[in-house]
Structure 1
Amino acid sequence: MRKKTDAYLEQKQEELLKDIRELVRIPSLHGDVQNCTAALEYVRRRAQDFGLKTSMTAEKDVCVIELGDGPETVGVLTHVDVVGIGDPQKWTYPPLDMTIDKGAIWGRGTADDKGPVMISLYVLRAIKELGIPLKKKICLIVGSCEEGIWTDMEHFKEQFPAPDHGFTPDGAFPIYNVEKGYADICLTFSEPEGCRITRLLAGDSRNTIPSRAVIQLKGGEEITYDGISAHSSAPESADNAIIKMCKDREKLYPFNFMKFIDRFLSDCHVPQLKLDDGTEFYNGEYAGKTTAAPTVISAENGVVTVNVNIRHRFGNTGESILARFREHEREYNFKARLIECQDPIMVSEKLPSLRLMQQVYESYGHKSEFCLAPGCTYAKALENFVCWGPFFPDDVDRVHMEDECLSIKTIMEAAKIYAAYLVLDGSESGPERPEQAES
């Protein structure tokens, strides 16, 4: 059966890439409700073209695509909203279009997560058009608020039955069954000399390290600080433009926000804040280190607002994180409030669905293991969900950065793996050992 799904997907490669391009061209930036809805409607129309059953939440913020029927449901959880484009001058290709070059597709959302949306849809199309019998329902859930507060997932859970298990193709292989937590803390600084600031701006999404910061003081020239962007779950791989600006405070003016950021946030593991004990273990288990980074900054009427994005390990809560910031409110003249917090998750490696994912992945010639993800995905939204693909360990990951891309080889390999898994999990054959990939 796998030979048939592999061959079908190869045959549909050109059409798949065309659909990804059309979806990327819809500028569904997070918070743009109209365009996010338009992106969902495009996915829905294509699913209907393929003869799949579709429905929407009442708020039109989630599209649900179903195939098959049965007492159990296998879910695939994706999203069409994307982060901002960052610095337009740092893009080699048009950010809100899809360009094919160097064996990859380029553009905002190609990897996170519009490419995987269409990969998943074409997998369901393959299973349907090949007439593969299913004993379970397969449900593709496409959200539109993943890059912000997940109101879409709340609406979905209120209006639809949750799948029994599944995955989100919003990260990397092999299997990420453990995820750090996520929190955003808003710091509002009342600067005594804030009237000196005529312009202050950096960052366009709370979960992206900014590559450019701009400041202008009264009577002075505008100064731009350039850095390197990255996903905020990997701040150590970036060069944060906000931090660079704050380290230059003696040249500018020693504002409280600059002093605080330089002292407490210049090291992404924030030892000065003491959010945890600084080790990578919790109760004897590997949990990674907590990280924090300033991601968005602005000023208005002398008040400076800073968003701090935090990826915390087990043992931290939103309340405990907020308390650490509040210890310094008086000294630096700010107020801290918690905008959003999601706890870390750990899904048991013993789940049959995860073991089947492992077997399928290995049958395609890859080494599988269970991993910790520093990022935050929709896997936190539903029980027994993990992050699984589409990136492979050797791929270049430019998610949330300028020149976001996904290789065509990765697209096709991931599609075949997903199809093999969903056929096995969804069919009456159940979680048996999949056939070995041909050399």
Structure 2
Amino acid sequence: MAIDWQKEVDARKDDILNDLKELLKVRSEREDSKITADAPFGPGPRDGLKQMLSYGQRDGFTTKNVDNYAGHIEFGQGEETLGIFGHMDVVPAGDDWQTDPYDPVIKDGKLIARGSSDDKGPSMAAYYAMKIIKELDLPLSKKVRFVVGSDEESGWGDMDHYFEKETAPDFGFSPDAEFPIINGEKGNVSIQVHIGVSNEGNYTLKKFQGGLRDNMVPTNASAKVTTITAEQADAMTIAFNEYLGINPISGTSVKEDDTTVIFQVAGKGSHGASPQFGHNAATWLAGFLDKYDFAGGAQNFLHVASAYIHEDFYGEKLGVAFEDPKMGKLTMNAGIFDFDEEKEDAFINLNFRYPQGTSSETLQAGIKNAIGRYDVTLVEGGHHMIPHYVPQEDPLVTTLLDVYEEHTGEKGEEQIIGGGTYGRLLERGVAFGAMFPDSVDTMHQADEFMSLDDLYKATAIYADAIYRLAK
């Protein structure tokens, strides 16, 4: 049976867009301060999960909510299950948006909102692909289950809980990356560098903060500094303006009193898997402050950030650089900086995307060797994921590449990325779309968007792919 998948999608464009807009209005950022038994990651992720599941209930699928951690939408019959994995949680919107990040706007064919490309837009495309197959009453020999998560951007606690209660699908994909396919993902581990908060110099670092998540390049950073004399404070503000003028950042300095200055820097955000595409506001600020006479823990904090982390995206200064012929280079993102002289210690959170051939233990040994003399303590945190790879000759990979090639006319090749997707949850799991090779990547950035053309084209590709894998 020849099916015009794009025609089926075109007939449902308005429905796809209306459901997606409704979903994007849910502010599904994780909020630890609002966690309850009913909202394990805060009310936003819970509400996003429930909203997505409500579409499945409305459209006659079998649905299940697993304790507001995750859920699924399912149809079909058979002993095997094809899994599709999406997530409703989003990274914090942050600043510098031209529009309200939770009031979707269409401009120049782009749907602008937090989560539009990561991952509510692609998830809606995959859901409607399932809906088309169901409405056409096409015969299937396998179950198709769309697993909906709510903690992908943080610790993956949603999937830990889900798989305690539910059996894993046999194979599948996540619509949370790019076409033609992602069949390999680097390891992902965060290592916190803890440093003391003592101040012993002529300049005092009261506070230094930057970044929102370990998987985001910090867009903004601020520091509160006190000096001994008003003249020192004035000289710092003049030097800071000169520093801004010759570097790819912007910022402000405000005198709180004669000897206290608050410095703020705005850089450029990027996904933590590709830190080289951003300008880390925190390390640029540390680079300015490091030349002043701080001492003790404050000096250690600033110097480590400036001399060992700033503009080092591959861990070379820390002595942990590594490259694998297939998976490529290790990358490093310094995502969170926190120094407060009233706390017990300060920390810098380093997120590594590492290829096969190295390990968290090797990384920690290298870091300790490079900066151990600055009185640091290392702590592994977050959800550690080891490298993942599905061979390109696997039928899952070959089928998805065939579908991509037929719909686009472009040759499909295997790809390995530093980003972590739910595709790695399954031994035979990959990421498949929804960005195309010519798409603009705005994930984790201000004014995130998904092209409507990409949204509808991806829906057709997903429908064809799901049907071929499950028929």
Q: Please say whether Structure 1 and Structure 2 have the same fold, judged by a TM-score greater than 0.5.
A: yes
Per-residue deviation, residues 290-323 of structure 1 (Å, max 9, x unmatched): 1112111122315322111111111122222222
Match of 2:19 in 1: 19
Correspondence for 1:322 among 352, 364, 368? 364
Counterparts in 2 of 1:14-93, with a 5 A limit? 14-31=14-31, 32-57=41-66, 59-87=67-95, 90-93=96-99
**Distance of 1:245 and 1:418 partners within structure 2:** 44
Greater CA drift, 313-322 or 19-28: 313-322
Equivalent pairs: percent with the same residue?
30
Match of 1:202 in 2: 210
CA spacing shift, 1:368–1:246, aligned 2, 3 Å: same
Are 1:126 and 2:126 an aligned pair?
no
Greater CA drift, 104-113 or 308-317: 308-317
Are 1:109 and 2:115 an aligned pair?
yes
Are 1:144 and 2:186 an aligned pair?
no
Are 1:188 and 2:194 an aligned pair?
yes
Deviation at 1:40, TM superposition (A): 0.8
What is the CA RMSD across the aligned residues, in angstroms?
Answer: 1.7
Contact 1:235 / 1:293 at 8 angstroms: preserved in 2?
yes
Deviation at 1:369, TM superposition (A): 0.5
Deviation at 1:198, TM superposition (A): 3.1
Deviation at 1:336, TM superposition (A): 1.1
Deviation at 1:30, TM superposition (A): 2.5
Deviation at 1:329, TM superposition (A): 5.5
Deviation at 1:192, TM superposition (A): 2.2
Contact 2:319 / 2:367 at 8 angstroms: preserved in 1?
no
Deviation at 1:328, TM superposition (A): 4.6
Please give the TM-score of this superposition, normalised by the length of structure 1.
0.92
CA spacing shift, 1:380–1:214, aligned 2, 3 Å: same
Contact 2:97 / 2:447 at 8 angstroms: preserved in 1?
yes
**Distance of 1:44 and 1:274 partners within structure 2:** 46
**Distance of 1:352 and 1:293 partners within structure 2:** 35
Q: What is the one-letter code of the residue matched to 1:246?
A: A
Residue ranges of structure 2 left out of the alignment (5+ in a row): 32-40, 227-258
**Distance of 2:182 and 2:2 partners within structure 1:** 24
Greater CA drift, 3-12 or 133-142: 3-12
Match of 2:162 in 1: 156
SS, match of residue 209 in structure 1: coil
Q: What is the one-letter code of the residue matched to 1:304?
A: A
Residue ranges of structure 1 left out of the alignment (5+ in a row): 428-439
Count of residue correspondences: 419
Match of 2:247 in 1: none
Counterparts in 2 of 1:273-312, with a 5 A limit? 273-276=318-321, 278=322, 280-281=323-324, 285-300=325-340, 301=342, 303-312=345-354
Contact 1:25 / 1:97 at 8 angstroms: preserved in 2?
yes
Match of 2:378 in 1: 336
Match of 1:431 in 2: none
SS, match of residue 75 in structure 1: strand
SS, match of residue 184 in structure 1: strand
Q: What is the one-letter code of the residue matched to 1:29?
A: E
Contact 1:86 / 1:203 at 8 angstroms: preserved in 2?
no
Q: What is the one-letter code of the residue matched to 2:48?
A: A
SS, match of residue 322 in structure 1: helix
Match of 1:3 in 2: 3
Per-residue deviation, residues 128-186 of structure 1 (Å, max 9, x unmatched): 11111111111100101101111211222222121111110101001111111111111
**Distance of 2:54 and 2:2 partners within structure 1:** 27
Match of 2:313 in 1: 268
SS, match of residue 164 in structure 2: helix
**Distance of 1:378 and 1:330 partners within structure 2:** 35
**Distance of 1:70 and 1:253 partners within structure 2:** 70
**Distance of 2:410 and 2:78 partners within structure 1:** 31
**Distance of 1:30 and 1:351 partners within structure 2:** 36
Deviation at 1:251, TM superposition (A): 5.3
Counterparts in 2 of 1:206-225, with a 5 A limit? 206-218=214-226, 219-225=259-265
Greater CA drift, 64-73 or 320-329: 320-329
Q: What is the one-letter code of the residue matched to 2:62?
A: K
Counterparts in 2 of 1:401-420, with a 5 A limit? 401-420=445-464
Are 1:424 and 2:464 an aligned pair?
no
Contact 1:86 / 1:210 at 8 angstroms: preserved in 2?
no
Larger Rg: 1 or 2? 2
CA spacing shift, 1:308–1:10, aligned 2, 3 Å: same
Greater CA drift, 329-338 or 119-128: 329-338
Counterparts in 2 of 1:235-250, with a 5 A limit? 235-250=275-290
Greater CA drift, 47-56 or 29-38: 29-38
Match of 1:376 in 2: 420
Per-residue deviation, residues 186-243 of structure 1 (Å, max 9, x unmatched): 1221032189333322111110001111111133221111211000100111111111
Deviation at 1:334, TM superposition (A): 2.0
**Distance of 1:74 and 1:335 partners within structure 2:** 44
Greater CA drift, 45-54 or 244-253: 244-253
Match of 1:313 in 2: 355
SS, match of residue 298 in structure 1: strand
**Distance of 1:330 and 1:211 partners within structure 2:** 28
Q: What is the one-letter code of the residue matched to 1:318?
A: S
Are 1:358 and 2:366 an aligned pair?
no
CA spacing shift, 1:193–1:220, aligned 2, 3 Å: same
Q: What is the one-letter code of the residue matched to 2:373?
A: E
**Distance of 1:253 and 1:61 partners within structure 2:** 49
Greater CA drift, 45-54 or 22-31: 22-31
SS, match of residue 72 in structure 2: strand
**Distance of 1:273 and 1:33 partners within structure 2:** 36
Contact 1:78 / 1:378 at 8 angstroms: preserved in 2?
yes
SS, match of residue 221 in structure 1: strand
Contact 2:30 / 2:44 at 8 angstroms: preserved in 1?
no
Deviation at 1:380, TM superposition (A): 1.9
Greater CA drift, 176-185 or 28-37: 28-37
